[in-house]
Amino acid sequence: MDTTATPRDTASFVGAAEAQSDVGTGLHLAIRDGGTLAGVIGYRRSEPPANLDIGYWLGDGFEGRGLMTMACRALVTHVFAAAAAHRVQIRAAAGNVRSRAVAERLGFRLEGVLREAEHLPDGWVDHCVYGMLARDWVQLRGLRSGFSSSPDPEVPGRLCTHQPGHAQGRIASACADDAAIDGEMAAYFEAQAPEYDDWYERRGRYANPQTDAAWFDELARLHAVVRAFRLSLPGGASVLDVGCGTGRWTAVLAEPTPFAAAGLDRSSAMLAEAQGRIARLGLRALLVRGDALDLPFPAAAFAAALSGFVFEHLSADHRSRFFAELRRVVRPGGRVLILEGRRGAGHTSDVEIQSRLLRDGRHFRVRQTLFTAAGLCQALSPLGPATTGETANFFVWAEVIL
Ligand SMILES: C[S@@+](CC[C@H](N)C(=O)[O-])C[C@H]1O[C@@H](n2cnc3c(N)ncnc32)[C@H](O)[C@@H]1O
């Protein structure tokens, strides 16, 4: 920071940073080592506003410990997940090897060199421009965690994957009575609708102080995956959320408005919750009651589809109907993103018939397949080759191009 040499310069930097944060055009954060200020990292929006410039600075005694790489990784994940960024850029003076190494370590692509872009006390210096797209960030990180045996470095430790409040009892590992269980599951989702989001928000009996921090971290990552999926579609593309439940993912697909999003569910209580969410957020989406195995849409109606935590509940027989319907309503070359719960060390079999409890004390049998990334890839193979990713404990996803 050659332009910030006096306390007055620092005060003016802080004032400008506060002003940007007030109007949402930027965010600047302190990097602290214990109680000591070690550096600064932040972003500014450029044109178009979904493009961001990230800048950082680290004090002399704090270099060489990976602090900036860690801070930058967290900020980039944040801007893709929470600041609706599409492209992030880092500019570094060509001779600033440490600064360039941060971008390179995180997988940014060197997109060009701006000749003599900045005047420093020693003269003009070139700037290296590094870029990262939201979809590349997700893919890079998803693939790394999906195919490495080491836990994701951003999530401390590996936790028990049993989601408290779910799977209160595991009755059997094989599906005996598919039709009866399907009926029970339909009743369960209808009755569960008003409390469904407690599961996402870790409220009530779903709360677990030991795992909640990791849960929210991983859920933010899943949001980033869905947002990147949506952002990678051409403007105006129509997207269907199959088994949309309370509309968490429909809402992500519905924004910004040029996207035509539709949510389908067979539970009217779930659709009522989804309707409330979409209205609260001031979004627009078509919400339709229907069966994922017999979709009420014409052929090739959608450019893409997403389905969250639905495939894992289907019987083996129903999977092929689900695939056939996706193939019919999504155009050839269109994309399908499937989100599921991740199989962990605590799960003893691939398919469980769980006994799930609702607030009113009723129990329902629910079939759930627990997937690893490789297992999901294999299960989706009739649909097409999949690119998969997973978080350390809770979620797994796969994208297929039809
Ligand atoms: C576990 S919830 C997931 C909701 C939402 N996709 C999410 O990720 O939060 C499963 C949803 O799929 C719906 N569902 C299950 N089978 C279905 C089917 N055959 N047709 C339509 N919806 C179905 C249920 O009603 C329920 O809302």
Q: What is the DSSP string of 167-195?
A: SSEEEESS---HHHHHHHHHHHHHHHHHH
User: Ligand 1 within 6 A of 200 CB?
Assistant: no
For residue 141, what are the β-bridge partners? none
Q: How many Cβ atoms are within 10 Å of 103's Cβ, its own excluded?
A: 26
Average pLDDT over residues 200-228: 91
Q: What confidence tier does 159 reach under pLDDT thresholds 50, 70, 90?
A: very low
pLDDT of residue 88: 94
Lowest pLDDT segment from 70-74, 216-220, 257-261:
257-261
Indicate whether 163 and 134 sit together in one domain: no
Q: What is the reported pTM?
A: 0.61
Indicate whether 98 and 34 sit together in one domain: yes
In percent, the amount of the chain with pLDDT more than 90 equals 51
Q: What share of the chain is helix, strand, coil (3-state, %, to 5)?
A: 35, 30, 30
Lowest pLDDT segment from 150-154, 204-208, 272-276, 314-318:
150-154
Indicate whether 241 and 320 sit together in one domain: yes
- Nearest ligand 1 atom to the CA of 189 is 25
User: Ligand 1 within 6 A of 287 CB?
Assistant: no
Q: What confidence tier does 340 reach under pLDDT thresholds 50, 70, 90?
A: very high
Q: Is the pLDDT of residue 249 over 80?
A: yes
Q: Which amino acid is at 181?
A: I
Indicate whether 43 and 178 sit together in one domain: no
Q: What confidence tier does 152 reach under pLDDT thresholds 50, 70, 90?
A: very low
- Helices 178-201 & 268-280 angle (0-180, nearest 10): 20
For residue 371, what are the β-bridge partners? 342
User: Ligand 1 within 6 A of 62 CB?
Assistant: no
pLDDT in tens, 89-98: 999 998 998 9
Q: What confidence tier does 257 reach under pLDDT thresholds 50, 70, 90?
A: low
CATH number of the domain at 210, please. Answer: 3.40.50.150
In whole angstroms, what is the distance from residue 138 CA to residue 232 CA? 11
Indicate whether 101 and 183 sit together in one domain: no
In whole angstroms, what is the distance from residue 326 CA to residue 310 CA? 13
**26 alpha carbon – ligand 1 mean position (Å):** 38
Closest residue by Cα to atom 10, ligand 1, is 310
**275 alpha carbon – ligand 1 mean position (Å):** 15
Q: What confidence tier does 160 reach under pLDDT thresholds 50, 70, 90?
A: very low
For residue 146, is it within any domain?
Answer: no
Indicate whether 192 and 255 sit together in one domain: yes
The rounded mean pLDDT for the chain is 84
Pocket test for ligand 1, best of 178, 182, 189, 297 (most atoms within 8 A of CB): 189
CATH number of the domain at 74, please. Answer: 3.40.630.30
> Cβ distance 357 to 363 under 8 Å?
yes
Closest residue by Cα to atom 14, ligand 1, is 243
- Nearest ligand 1 atom to the CA of 186 is 25
Indicate whether 71 and 158 sit together in one domain: no
pLDDT of residue 148: 22
Eight-class DSSP state of 284: -
For residue 142, what are the β-bridge partners? none
User: Ligand 1 within 6 A of 292 CB?
Assistant: yes
For residue 112, what are the β-bridge partners? 129
Q: What confidence tier does 259 reach under pLDDT thresholds 50, 70, 90?
A: low
Residue 253 belongs to domain spanning? 154-401
- Select the more confidently predicted residue: 151 or 95: 95
For residue 149, is it within any domain?
Answer: no
Q: What confidence tier does 82 reach under pLDDT thresholds 50, 70, 90?
A: low
For residue 147, is it within any domain?
Answer: no
**282 alpha carbon – ligand 1 mean position (Å):** 23
Indicate whether 89 and 168 sit together in one domain: no
For residue 30, what are the β-bridge partners? 40
